[in-house]
Amino acid sequence: MKLTKSTKVVIIGGGFGGLAAAALLSSCGLSVHLLERNASLGGRARVWSKDGFRFDMGPSWYLMPDVFEHFFHLCGEDVDDILPTKRLSPSYRVYLAGNDTPVDMYSDTVRDGATLDQICPGSSQSLASYIRTSKSHYDRSLRSFIARNADTFFHYMTLATMRDGWGLPVLVSMEKHLSKWFKNDTVRRFLAYQTLFLGNAPKETPGVFSAMNYVDFAMGVHYPEGGIGAIVNAMEKLITNAGGEISTTADVVSINVDGRTARSVTLADGRTIDADVLVANADIHHVETRLLPTRSQSLAPPYWSNKRPAPSAAILYLGITGDAPKLKHHTLLFPDDWDLSFSELFNGHSLPTDPSIYISCPSMSDESVAPAGHTNLFILMPCPTGLEWTTDLKNQCSERLFSILEASFGIENVRDRVVVQRFYCGEDFTNDYCAWLGNALGGQAHTLTQSSFMRPPARSRKVKNLYYVGAGTNPGIGMPMCLLSAEMLVKRLFRTGGPGLLNQLPRL
């Protein structure tokens, strides 16, 4: 299709993927209309505010600042102007189960190496060379694999790509890859926990995702002024400034297909909106199995039966009086039985007995998220998908999270100090975002067979003007990846560029 300024692009979903696509495509000069079913934008990265507390409901780790900088640059903005960030120090704190002494990590290989030496002497030397190798994995992956539209293995068959791919640990697991460098179990956990960000276990995540270790240990963990919600607001502004239209409480209930072309979408209120190009940011499972007519589904229900979703999560958002001195902005609790914890998460059918725990406490760095003298935090426990969240289970889980706050993080009398509280679980992910089996991260876990060209494709095979963006397709899970998925859509629509990032946007 020849794109012109009057080509109507309709985007289903205002999560990170949809917002990024709308910002880029409207900046290119296309006529963009974004439809979001919820009353506010951001999807899993929405904001919830109550009684002076402001919670980023989902993502809290601003990683890969290079990708954000590049995205805003493409839209003609300097990220430092539009979204000033600070680098957190420490980046995060870790508690090891049964041990009250915290371990602080600074995204500084020298300082963190010295910390890991205290756990196992000699770790610092391995860390330095390991992170150098991870940097090479990061650079090569970004250049040849991540920022590329590859629908089949054969798209990688170029000399430059094969050179970049040579020696990348694709066929070994993160766990095996790490064990070549680090002999100590505990030390390895500091480099393996990041696979949870990819919705997977270290045993089943390809070793090439060691690129994440470079991101964590060298690039640092940042915090945008105003929190993650500020990124959503910045993207909204980009869209409207470029002439794009945004409708919230616009719940798409069907995609209307004529032959092999999507012509329009129908909303729950009965309105029909015409489209020349349709971009879906909602979970691909929902789009393929609920919004498309059966004959137009290229990923029909049987496809999903043997796919592994990223895990779900139970989250307790709390505004409390006083402080929580044992926490940092990001605090993790590593489980005692590492293998059991992952096996319960991916194979279990009930609340995990020995879970990993994450606490986000942005009031440590940002006084605007809580009234003076108060703490804003959420505690998150990864959970298996598909649980039946009865009232009993919700109460049981929420009580457990309160107990963990007291026992493992020293937040005394936390129940009595609550000012605002909200419990959120798999059922909410499904009801709010139409999430497949209540998964928290936006799609399939990053196993070997669910990554790269084996992930759901970014284009429907049966409807020629239907494209996908967001965590469900390539490159995958996480805010930076969603931004890149939108850039890959631009490359696809404008038939521009092979591997690598765009230098500038094509403009009509």
Q: Which stretches of the chain bind ligand FAD, using CB under 6 A?
A: 12-18, 35-38, 43-45, 58-61, 251-252, 281-282, 286, 313, 315, 380, 433-434, 440-442, 470-471, 477-479, 482
Residue number of the CB closest to ligand FAD reads 15
Of 425, 314, 324, 378, residue with least CA distance to 54: 378
List the 103-105 sheet strands across, edge first. Answer: 103-105, 92-96, 330-334, 357-360, 374-383, 312-321, 418-424
User: Is the CB of 160 or the CB of 253 nearer to ligand FAD?
Assistant: 253
User: Is the CB of 141 or the CB of 281 nearer to ligand FAD?
Assistant: 281
CA dihedral (470, 471, 475, 478) positive or negative = positive
Cα dihedral 460, 456, 498, 237, rounded to 10, equals 80
User: Is the CB of 148 or the CB of 446 nearer to ligand FAD?
Assistant: 446
Q: How far is the CB of 58 from ligand FAD (least distance, A)?
A: 4
User: Hey, is 9 helix, strand or coil?
Assistant: strand
Q: How far is the CB of 442 from ligand FAD (least distance, A)?
A: 4
User: Is the CB of 169 or the CB of 227 nearer to ligand FAD?
Assistant: 227
Q: How far is the CB of 504 from ligand FAD (least distance, A)?
A: 24
User: Is the CB of 477 or the CB of 502 nearer to ligand FAD?
Assistant: 477
Q: How far is the CB of 91 from ligand FAD (least distance, A)?
A: 12
H-only helix segments in 97-158 = 109-119, 123-141
Of 479, 361, 329, 427, residue with least CA distance to 53: 361
Name the residue with tokens 């090891």: 96
Q: Backbone phi, then psi, for 435, in 5-degree steps?
A: -75, 135
Label the pairing between strands 103-105 and 92-96. antiparallel
Cα dihedral 480, 283, 193, 94, rounded to 10, equals 80
> Burial, 287: exposed, middle or buried (Cβ in 10 Å; 0-12, 13-18, 19+)?
buried
Q: How far is the CB of 471 from ligand FAD (least distance, A)?
A: 4
Q: How far is the CB of 426 from ligand FAD (least distance, A)?
A: 11
Q: What is the C-alpha to C-alpha distance for residues 444 and 199, in angstroms, rounded to an integer? A: 8
Q: How far is the CB of 200 from ligand FAD (least distance, A)?
A: 13
One-letter amino acid for residue 397 of the chain = C
User: Is the CB of 74 or the CB of 469 nearer to ligand FAD?
Assistant: 469
User: Is the CB of 67 or the CB of 187 nearer to ligand FAD?
Assistant: 67
User: Is the CB of 88 or the CB of 187 nearer to ligand FAD?
Assistant: 88
Q: What is the C-alpha to C-alpha distance for residues 46 and 435, in angstroms, rounded to an integer? A: 15
Instruction: List, in order, residues 6 or more apart from 88 with CB less than 8 Å away.
Output: 220, 221, 222, 223, 328, 329, 330, 365
User: Which residues are bridge partners to 155 per DSSP?
Assistant: none
CB 331 within 8 A of CB 93: yes
User: Is the CB of 187 or the CB of 404 nearer to ligand FAD?
Assistant: 404
User: Is the CB of 222 or the CB of 374 nearer to ligand FAD?
Assistant: 222
Give the end-to-end CA distance of the chain in Å, rounded to a whole number: 14
Q: How far is the CB of 346 from ligand FAD (least distance, A)?
A: 17
Q: How far is the CB of 478 from ligand FAD (least distance, A)?
A: 3
Q: How far is the CB of 163 from ligand FAD (least distance, A)?
A: 29
CB 328 within 8 A of CB 360: no
